[in-house]
Structures are given as structure tokens and as C-alpha cells.
Amino acid sequence: MEMTDLELINGLMSSNPELQGLMKEHQELERKLENLNKKAFLTAEDQAEKKRLQKLKLRGRDRIEEILAAHRH
């Protein structure tokens, strides 16, 4: 039976410092994006920052997926 991604992440966290850092960064970027999404109006700077954060989050998620793919059975 294949483990879910979350179970796999939890199992790898203690032995993979890169994954730990990526998960921490992912959560921080999510928090920042949530704060931007709470605003009633986004300035041009806010919109640019939102796009930047989304790209960083996606890049991190892609790397997380690469790590998980290497450990799936």
C-alpha cells in the first residue's frame, strides 16, 4: 500500500533537512499569501508581491514533489 504524501513527508522530515526547510518555507509563504488575500484592495506593489510569493511557493512545491517522487515505492 502506498503512503499518502503527508505521511511520506512526516516520515522524511527528521532525516531530510532540505525537506524540513522547504516545508517551513512553504508554510511561511502560505501565511504571507493569506495575509495579502485578507486585504480588501491590493495595490500594484501588493499584486506584484503576491505573484512573487506564488512563484516561490510553486517552485518549492515542485522541489518537494521531486523529493517525494524519489522516495515513493
CA 16 to chain centre: 16
Query: What cell numbers appear for 18 in the block?
Result: 532540505
Q: What are phi and psi of 7, to 5 degrees?
A: -65, -40
Nearest of 1, 5, 3, 10 to residue 68 by alpha carbon: 5
The number of distinct structural domains making up the chain is 1
- Taking the chain (73 residues) in runs of 10, the rounded mean pLDDT of each run is 74 92 97 97 97 98 94 79
Residue 35 is predicted with a pLDDT of 97
CA 59 to chain centre: 8
Residue 5 is predicted with a pLDDT of 84
Residue 73 is predicted with a pLDDT of 67
Q: Which domain holds residue 67?
A: 5-71
